């Protein structure tokens, strides 16, 4: 039977008239009021709103300390500094992530070592980490990919045995839980990002949560030029105006303007999470009987925060590849995306000597995945457009 070709890619009418992005922020009047209140106050940076935001995030995730930064990337840089990553240190991480999770290792002089993923969850595989550990290994950077927590029982016990520090890049996982514990209270240090596509936003911004006082103090110093005014830490005699720069830090401070937005957004986090989970369930139900696609596998015992909803194509059941399906969905005005190009395939890493084929599972998954739009502000109609778009494009290319 010849299929009816009404794909927008081939000149047909798209399933929706306007373009739907894969993710975006939700700012309301209350958020705007919170920001204008700070603008009218005495402090627009490094005032009381920063510590309030830090306190509330720490309380939410169940950590002792939290330190806000100008971005998630700056926060990761600070975490590598606090962990003491230096020249000749190796840090094991996943290739299935945004480049920042691995770049931070390079910022402090360390060498990223990539461990392949679990092909079901797309998270770093504990079995793949084991053989990579040697006397140079200093830390592991996990990523809770799409919002699904990595396998912390295995990873934390491995790290404990080998004396390694675990840094969790939880840019996708604010509000996710692993065996009843919130992400942010499990690894030695956990990073959250407040970029507009993430769970809550401050425009740009990030945070590290930790229970370790030593890391906490190093993070604070690193955020502000490596300068301390703490009388207990000063090395020399001091006058009231005296301070010391003891480490090479940066200006990685978040402003109170941003923190006020963060605090206001944090009040809505539970509502945002509920929406994301509800939409993910609707996608799962809509796609579960389509043999051409694989819906996201969820491990028992954890509850994803659903930053991303990723479909994997069953290429044996399709007459084309991911790239054409991606283009076809874009033409239907569905803002699909691909998360991620395995980090070491980027030219910068290739020039450093990382070879194609290093993590074959990540490379093959990468060829077959598509991220669908998912954000709390999208409507049920938007969601139904995405479902209709996927059904239209997949049934056209299906072998059935």
Ligand X SMILES: *Cc1c(COP(=O)(O)O)cnc(C)c1O
Residue ranges that bind ligand X, judged by CB under 6 A: 71-73, 97-98, 100-101, 143, 169, 171-172, 193, 195, 206
Give the nearest distance from C-beta 104 to ligand X in angstroms: 9
Give the nearest distance from C-beta 273 to ligand X in angstroms: 17
Nearer to ligand X, 128 or 343 (CB): 343
Nearer to ligand X, 21 or 48 (CB): 21
Q: Which residue is associated with the tokens 């209350």?
A: 30
Nearer to ligand X, 24 or 282 (CB): 24
| Buried-exposed string 21-54: b where 16+ CB fall within 10 A, e elsewhere | ebbbbbbeeebeebbeebeeeeeeebbebbeebb
Nearer to ligand X, 25 or 193 (CB): 193
Nearer to ligand X, 103 or 260 (CB): 103
- What is the 8-class DSSP label of residue 11? T
Pair 268, 200: CB distance under 8 Å: yes
**CA-to-CA distance for 349 and 43, rounded, in angstroms?**
42
Task: For 389, list phi and psi in degrees, rounded to 5.
Answer: -65, -45
- The DSSP secondary structure of 137-160, one letter per residue, reads EEEEEEE-GGG----HHHHHHHHH
Residue count of the chain:
400
Give the nearest distance from C-beta 356 to ligand X in angstroms: 22
Give the nearest distance from C-beta 344 to ligand X in angstroms: 15
Give the nearest distance from C-beta 305 to ligand X in angstroms: 12
Nearer to ligand X, 80 or 171 (CB): 171
Give the nearest distance from C-beta 358 to ligand X in angstroms: 19
Give the nearest distance from C-beta 170 to ligand X in angstroms: 8
**CA-to-CA distance for 329 and 394, rounded, in angstroms?**
9
Give the nearest distance from C-beta 172 to ligand X in angstroms: 6
HEC assignment per residue over 203-230: CCCEEEEECCHHHHHHHHHHHECCEECC
Nearer to ligand X, 203 or 376 (CB): 203
In three-state secondary structure terms, 245 is: strand
Cα separation values, 326 from 130, 279, 386, 389, Å? 36, 21, 13, 11
Cβ-closest position to ligand X? 72
**CA-to-CA distance for 177 and 150, rounded, in angstroms?**
10
Pair 53, 194: CB distance under 8 Å: no
Nearer to ligand X, 207 or 390 (CB): 207
């Amino acid at each position: 039977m010849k299929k009816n070709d009404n794909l927008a890619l081939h000149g047909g009418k798209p399933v929706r008239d306007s373009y739907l992005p894969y993710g975006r922020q939700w700012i309301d009047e209350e958020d705007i009021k919170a920001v204008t209140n700070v603008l009218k106050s005495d402090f627009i940076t490094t005032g009381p709103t920063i510590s309030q935001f830090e306190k509330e995030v720490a309380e939410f995730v169940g950590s002792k300390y939290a330190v806000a930064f100008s971005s998630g990337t700056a926060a990761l840089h600070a975490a590598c500094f606090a962990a003491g990553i230096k020249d000749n240190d190796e840090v094991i991480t996943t290739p299935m992530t945004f480049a920042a999770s691995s770049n931070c290792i390079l910022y402090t002089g360390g060498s990223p070592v990539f461990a392949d993923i679990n092909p079901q969850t797309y998270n770093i595989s504990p079995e793949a980490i084991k053989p990579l550990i040697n006397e140079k290994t200093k830390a592991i950077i996990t990523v809770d990919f799409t919002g699904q927590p990595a396998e912390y029982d295995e990873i934390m016990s491995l790290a404990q045995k080998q004396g390694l520090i675990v840094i969790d890049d939880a840019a996708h996982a604010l509000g996710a839980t692993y065996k009843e514990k919130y992400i942010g209270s499990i690894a030695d240090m956990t990073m959250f990002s407040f970029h507009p596509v993430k769970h809550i936003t401050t425009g740009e911004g990030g945070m590290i949560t930790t229970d370790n006082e030593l890391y906490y103090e190093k993070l604070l110093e690193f955020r502000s030029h490596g300068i301390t005014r703490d009388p207990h830490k000063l090395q020399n005699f001091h006058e009231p105006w005296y301070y010391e720069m003891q480490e090479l830090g940066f200006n990685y401070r978040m402003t109170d303007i941003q923190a006020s937005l963060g605090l206001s957004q944090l009040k809505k986090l539970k509502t945002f999470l509920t929406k994301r989970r509800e939409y993910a369930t609707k996608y799962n139900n809509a796609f579960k009987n389509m043999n051409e696609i694989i819906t996201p596998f969820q491990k028992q015992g954890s509850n994803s925060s659903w930053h991303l909803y990723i479909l994997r194509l069953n290429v044996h059941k399709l007459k084309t590849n991911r790239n054409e399906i991606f283009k076809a969905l874009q033409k239907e005005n569905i803002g699909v995306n691909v998360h991620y190009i395995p980090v070491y395939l980027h030219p910068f890493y290739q020039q450093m000597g990382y070879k194609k084929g290093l993590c074959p599972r990540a490379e093959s998954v990468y060829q077959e995945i598509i991220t669908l739009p998912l954000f709390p502000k999208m409507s049920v109609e938007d969601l139904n457009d995405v479902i209709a778009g996927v059904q239209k494009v997949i049934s056209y290319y299906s072998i059935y």
